Amino acid sequence: MKTYIIGAGASKCYEKSPTGLKMPVAKEFFQTYNKLRISSDPNVLVGHIINYVGEYYNISPEEFIDFNRDIEELHSEVEEKLNISLETNDEVNKMLFYSTYNQLVFLFTSVINEIQNGEISFAHKELIASMEDTDSIITFNWDTLIDRALHENGRWNCDNGYLIKPKMIYRDKWEFNNANDSKIKLIKLHGSTNWLSSYTTFNMDGDITFTHDSGKEIFYVYEYTNNPYSCYKGRYLPNYKPFSYGYYPPNLPEKGISAPKGRTFVNYMIRTPFTPKGTSNDSGLVSMPLIIPPVKNKKYTFYGDLFPELWNYAEMVLVNSDTIIILGYSFPKTDIRTNELFISAFTKRNNIPDIIIVNPNPELIYEKFKLEFGIPEKKIKIYKERIDENYDFKKLS
């Protein structure tokens, strides 16, 4: 049994994007966004981000096109200010930071959707073809390049291939799970651009909460559409491949939370003259991407048991794997939880697994496995290589 650990380097190899761009790393995010057509789309909301950058970086809206801050640093900074405003009950700043934080989630997801909206990645197809049914994939990526390749291969489906089951799946309409078990398991420890939850709001205590009335861990999955779907203000965007969508994902088939006793929810929308009118309807509950954003202090319990359950699955897989293959993942310092995952899994093993590292700069990863995780040198094999569209994955088997 093999387990593949997939990081950003594996997504960077994708060269079939109609945008002509590759998946950005954190420090390239805003430069990449400003090269995409969505940077001039009035339906793509960045007003609060631009205001924040103007306030704290003294950059005018006209200069935003040249803004180049690391997305992880910026998102972490906004989250820290949001948390402080929540603790101090600063109502004005709470709303401003909250809106900026959510726009960053939508924008981050939208950039990924734009770039992955092309042909299925040949490299990912080759990777899947080299795998056995007993193998597993653990990924820290938010994109769906691996999901599409798995789905095309026929040994995986959205219904149960993520190990945690979505409440419903969007396949030109919302439907319940109905597929057979997946062979290969895909564990996405930071969520996925095609996972959806309800939009968040503030409850009576001033805390951030969901607008759906079921458990925090309830989530939905988007697979594909042939027709316009219902979304926020009907702002459906066409011409997206399966597992990708325009800026607004489909609304959820839920009524939402009820107003507290003695109170009534009032819903209103403002449409500015320069914003195009939506082309679809807006029935259902407004949704948003379900991802753990690229922030330093990742809140895995915000979605209830969903992510703790995923991380427990990942640990179990690492405990039982004969071979662990690291593809394009560099163990960044901010992913402290990942270190804990490997240490916990390795201390529960009865034997030592074989480790294969594929990375153009493998030295620090090698040192980590040898010195921190206690893997002897003879059990570690290194391929000092960059993964590209024509990478030979069969040699790793």
Question: Tens digit of pLDDT for each residue in 186-239?
Answer: 999 999 999 999 999 888 778 899 998 888 999 999 999 999 999 999 999 999
Mean pLDDT for 353-368 is 96
Question: Tens digit of pLDDT for each residue in 90-132?
Answer: 888 999 999 999 999 999 999 999 999 999 999 999 999 999 9
| Residue pair 133/34 in contact by the 8 Å Cβ criterion | no
Total-model pTM: 0.94
Mean pLDDT for 363-385 is 96
Give the Cβ contact number of residue 285 at 10 Å. Answer: 19
pLDDT: which is higher, 389 or 271? 389
Cβ contacts of 88 within 8 Å, gap of 6 or more: none
Identify the DSSP state of 43: T
What are the b/e assignments for 248-266, b being 16+ CB within 10 Å?
Answer: bbbbbbbebbeeeeeeeee
Radius of gyration of the chain (CA): 21
Question: What is the predicted pLDDT for the residue at 160?
Answer: 93
| Residue pair 12/23 in contact by the 8 Å Cβ criterion | yes
> Of 137-146, 279-288, 312-321, which gets the smallest average pLDDT?
279-288
Question: Tens digit of pLDDT for each residue in 52-81?
Answer: 999 999 999 999 999 999 999 999 999 999
Question: What is the predicted pLDDT for the residue at 34?
Answer: 96
pLDDT: which is higher, 297 or 226? 226
Question: Tens digit of pLDDT for each residue in 259-269?
Answer: 555 444 444 45
Cβ contacts of 103 within 8 Å, gap of 6 or more: 45, 46, 47, 48, 49
Run of H or E residues at 358: strand 354-358
Q: Which CATH architecture describes the domain 2-13+120-163+178-189+302-396?
A: 3-Layer(aba) Sandwich (3.40)
Question: What is the predicted pLDDT for the residue at 300?
Answer: 94
Question: What is the predicted pLDDT for the residue at 395?
Answer: 92
Report the mean per-residue pLDDT for the chain: 92
Give me the sign of the Cα torsion angle 83, 311, 148, 221: negative
User: Residue 271: pLDDT band by 50, 70, 90 thresholds?
Assistant: low
Residues of the chain with CATH 3.40.50.1220: 2-13+120-163+178-189+302-396
| Residue pair 325/3 in contact by the 8 Å Cβ criterion | yes
Nearest CA among 221, 159, 165, 163 for reference residue 196: 221
Q: What's the number of CA atoms in the CB half-sphere (13 Å) around residue 362?
A: 21
Question: What is the predicted pLDDT for the residue at 110?
Answer: 98
Question: What is the predicted pLDDT for the residue at 264?
Answer: 44
Give me the sign of the Cα torsion angle 311, 315, 317, 322: positive
Quote the tokens at residue 128.
């899947």
Mean pLDDT for 242-259 is 88
